[in-house]
Chains A and B, each alone.
Chain A
């Protein structure tokens, strides 16, 4: 029996359990769309291909599965690049299918032809141009396997049009066997014994959790470790939600906009157990000043993350969940346990920092953006799935929406890609129809993918877009205020659309608060409406994100309120 390329494509996707695709048709890919509508796969028609990739990213993070995109060749493909780079930086499993001109035209500068495999080579985990229909089923199987296994990441598959139209005998793809790709899931136990030794010697242990905890579903194991060794826990931006923010062991986020106590604890600890992190410069600040007294244990599935930026005492290559479970078992088998008493002086030291400086902001007669996020947290019982744009809105979301569960904070961490939040919220809402999904946005970044409002309305997605409108590109303005002599070059948004009318124009609902006392009523009303809603909050234009560590300074040198 012969099957067309499209048949093979659709069958392969169904075998992978794909039920949702974010896409946009075009000449080179229309053969798939033509048949897709008859398949039991939901196609979400976005308004821009960048939106498709961010939506797939949000879908992957909220569901814990793989997100899928389907776009056309040329501009359709190039529009995906920012989304792919964002997913790559944050290790998010997505598979992006791009149409390509027919194989006979490749290299001819044909209409809507680009070398998307060449363009995306440095920002994908791997990519493929399929030139033989016999390879199609295998490549798709490999693509899903690569995206989701090891350190996850985006994989791109370029599909020439003639391949979709040609036929091949029906064959099922064999199990994936890539001899050069064997991620290390199980840690070397010898290394773990060294970790146990270090834990036994440590007086001031600190756990640093990263996005790897969420990706490998290791939250419980992390919690267990923190309980056994009675250590305080901090997290990177990507790790928020990996450890419950309502735990007494929780210190808050580390890094450039981390809490005072988390940053001070990182400088004072004598053992740092870093799990699923990559020691980004926004986390470490000046490397020489980072955890200067600590022995560092670094657990990560990607060997390139280890010793890339920070010298490590005990490297452990392995999956976060498998490794932490193993470590916990070793500790338990050895009968090791640390009571609160044994950590009394260390916790007291941390408590002093907590008293010295808490995350805070001044109340005023204008709306403070932090207040909006705090109230949002209260009114959603901390149960919302929160996506963000990039900049101040993102940091206030990270600081004031205290995440207790994994897969609930969805942000473009590594790339810092403005325009991420709205499409990511669309993906997250489709993955989690049971949850309130909120995009915390600024007036600048919301405009980068505002067209996806139409997508949200078309699919009746009740996502809530919260615009913290300070009429500036706030984070850059903050840098200009603090480090560029208050010269606000090019950061004032002299004109923005009327977001309420814009919401209505898209068929959504628009609400606005201009006074502090309007914040709660607007939030309550917006959250109660089962439709796409924009809630605009006219906030203090010159509010800044604090604490702040100037770029390149040690993370203990914080500017405070």
Chain B
């Protein structure tokens, strides 16, 4: 049985304890699973963290990944967002060379992408952009000719969408 490889966004609710991240990352490296991106932070409850993990695999591998994650004692819940409505965001900080002749163009692109300039230096602007992965990649591509000094990106964070109507 061959299934096609697909990107899955997994949202893990875990106990906020030392070593939990290491258990999860170790599971992926030890079993040869793939991590595309990973974001970790506390939730509204201090003793619970949410890990948003993007992984690649066919149906069998994804099923095994979810089961193995569920088996970890500190993992409370594994939610696969892939086949349900969800909102997802990535963020990037892009430090781009701001030559006088490019500044207007940079600001125009920042405007079009609903990004923001969050730091202005003598030679560089730092641009903050939030959106999906495609949008961030596009902006980076467009700014590249002007000279990007460095980029910092988060992984994807995501939450399932709520129902639009109240159920009766």
Q: Taking beta carbons and an 8 Å cutoff, which residues of A are in contact with B?
A: 117-118, 121-122, 125-126, 129, 146, 178-181, 302-304, 307-308, 311
Contact yes or no, B22 A118, CB < 8 A: yes
Flag whether B99 is at the interface (Cβ < 8 A): no
A488 to B64, CA, bound (A): 40
A431 to B70, CA, bound (A): 34
Nearest B-chain residue to A155, judged by Cβ: B73
Contacting residue for B1 out of A179, A304, A311, CB 8 A: A311
Contact A121/B19 with A307-B63, A308-B64, A311-B1 known, Cβ cut-off 8 Å: yes
What B residues does A178 contact at CB under 8 A? 73
Contact yes or no, B71 A302, CB < 8 A: yes
Flag whether B75 is at the interface (Cβ < 8 A): yes
Flag whether B6 is at the interface (Cβ < 8 A): no
Flag whether B74 is at the interface (Cβ < 8 A): yes
Nearest A-chain residue to B23, judged by Cβ: A121
Q: What distance in Å separates the Cβ of B31 from its nearest Cβ neighbour in chain A?
A: 9
Contact yes or no, A180 B74, CB < 8 A: yes
User: A-facing mask of B14-41, CB < 8 A → 1, else 0?
Assistant: 0100110011001100100000000000
Nearest A-chain residue to B65, judged by Cβ: A304
- B: number of interface residues (CB 8 Å): 21
**Looking at A146, A179, A180, A308, which has the most chain B CB atoms within 10 Å of its CB?**
A180
What B residues does A307 contact at CB under 8 A? 60, 63-64
Contacting residue for B75 out of A117, A125, A180, CB 8 A: A180
A328 to B91, CA, bound (A): 57
What B residues does A129 contact at CB under 8 A? 18-19
Flag whether B137 is at the interface (Cβ < 8 A): no
Contact yes or no, B30 A181, CB < 8 A: no
Contact yes or no, A181 B73, CB < 8 A: yes
Contact yes or no, A122 B73, CB < 8 A: no
Contact yes or no, A303 B67, CB < 8 A: yes
A146 to B74, CA, bound (A): 12
Contact yes or no, B15 A180, CB < 8 A: yes
A302 to B76, CA, bound (A): 16
Contact yes or no, A117 B73, CB < 8 A: no
Contact yes or no, B64 A304, CB < 8 A: yes
What B residues does A126 contact at CB under 8 A? 73
12 more A-B contacts (CB under 8 A) besides A121-B22, A122-B26, A129-B19?
A: A121-B19, A121-B26, A122-B30, A146-B73, A179-B76, A180-B15, A180-B73, A180-B77, A304-B71, A307-B63, A307-B64, A308-B64
A118 to B19, CA, bound (A): 8
What A residues does B73 contact at CB under 8 A? 125-126, 146, 178, 180-181
4 smallest CB-CB distances across A and B, nearest first, come from A180-B76, A304-B67, A126-B73, A303-B67
Flag whether B5 is at the interface (Cβ < 8 A): no
Flag whether B68 is at the interface (Cβ < 8 A): yes
**Looking at B1, B60, B64, which has the most chain A CB atoms within 10 Å of its CB?**
B64
A126 to B63, CA, bound (A): 22
Contacting residue for B68 out of A121, A125, A304, CB 8 A: A304
A178 to B76, CA, bound (A): 9
Nearest A-chain residue to B14, judged by Cβ: A180
What B residues does A146 contact at CB under 8 A? 73
